């Protein structure tokens, strides 16, 4: 299994992994019709933006024998909440296909994002996750500190999202947190 920077030609597969992982991750949270209607093309357009000239977003993939099993995205923290103001870097997303979860790959992807953020001058990292998502336990296991919560609108629903932070993202580079 290889963790590497994404290339522009990975974008269609990243979009597919993103949608497929949303469908399994949020099957008990979001309406079935909303998940069915998710579009690979829309996610492709979104992630292609990471390769635009002005982009500050970067993408990292986990690849298994030529097959992309998951990906993560990071960049400058969105400063839209009080929690985020002191955090320079953000983990925007980390998604593994269901069949590749719980094998240590999510941890390696998050470490790779932290490493790239530090290289870009961001020593802290924040991430947002739906309160109902089991991924909260993953972030806690990785040493994330609960920072606060906000309401997000998805599929015409008001859902709670919580923020986890690593004031010193370099802890994520160690083999075990």
* Binding stretches for ligand COA (CB under 6 A): 21, 25, 94-96, 101-107, 129, 133-135, 137-138, 141
Alpha-carbon distance of 117 to 125, in angstroms, equals 8
Tell me how far, at minimum, the Cβ of 121 lies from ligand COA, in Å: 24
Tell me how far, at minimum, the Cβ of 27 lies from ligand COA, in Å: 11
Q: Where are the alpha helices (DSSP H) in the chain?
A: 11-25, 32-36, 40-48, 105-119, 135-141
Alpha-carbon distance of 45 to 68, in angstroms, equals 18
Alpha-carbon distance of 100 to 87, in angstroms, equals 30
Identify which of residues 13 and 25 has a Cβ nearer to ligand COA in the complex.
Answer: 25
Tell me how far, at minimum, the Cβ of 14 lies from ligand COA, in Å: 13
Q: Measure CA 82 to chain center.
A: 20
Identify which of residues 137 and 174 has a Cβ nearer to ligand COA in the complex.
Answer: 137
Tell me how far, at minimum, the Cβ of 53 lies from ligand COA, in Å: 28
- Cβ atoms of 97 and 25 within 8 Å: the answer is no
Identify which of residues 88 and 106 has a Cβ nearer to ligand COA in the complex.
Answer: 106
Identify which of residues 32 and 121 has a Cβ nearer to ligand COA in the complex.
Answer: 32
């Amino acid at each position: 299994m290889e963790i590497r920077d994404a290339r522009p030609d990975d974008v269609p597969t990243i979009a597919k992994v993103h949608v497929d992982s949303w469908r399994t991750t949020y099957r008990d949270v979001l309406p079935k019709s909303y998940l069915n209607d998710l579009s690979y093309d829309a996610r492709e357009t979104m992630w292609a933006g990471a390769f635009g000239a002005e982009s500050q977003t970067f993408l990292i993939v986990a690849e298994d024998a030529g097959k992309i099993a998951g990906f993560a995205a990071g960049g400058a923290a969105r400063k839209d909440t009080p929690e985020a103001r002191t955090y320079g870097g953000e983990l925007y997303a980390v998604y593994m296909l269901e069949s590749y979860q719980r094998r240590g790959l999510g941890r390696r992807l998050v470490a790779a994002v932290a490493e790239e953020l530090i290289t870009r001058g961001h020593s802290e990292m924040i991430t947002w996750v739906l309160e109902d998502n089991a991924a909260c336990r993953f972030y806690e296991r990785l040493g994330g500190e609960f920072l606060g919560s906000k309401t997000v609108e998805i599929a015409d629903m008001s859902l709670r999202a919580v923020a986890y932070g690593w004031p010193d993202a370099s802890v994520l580079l160690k083999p075990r947190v």
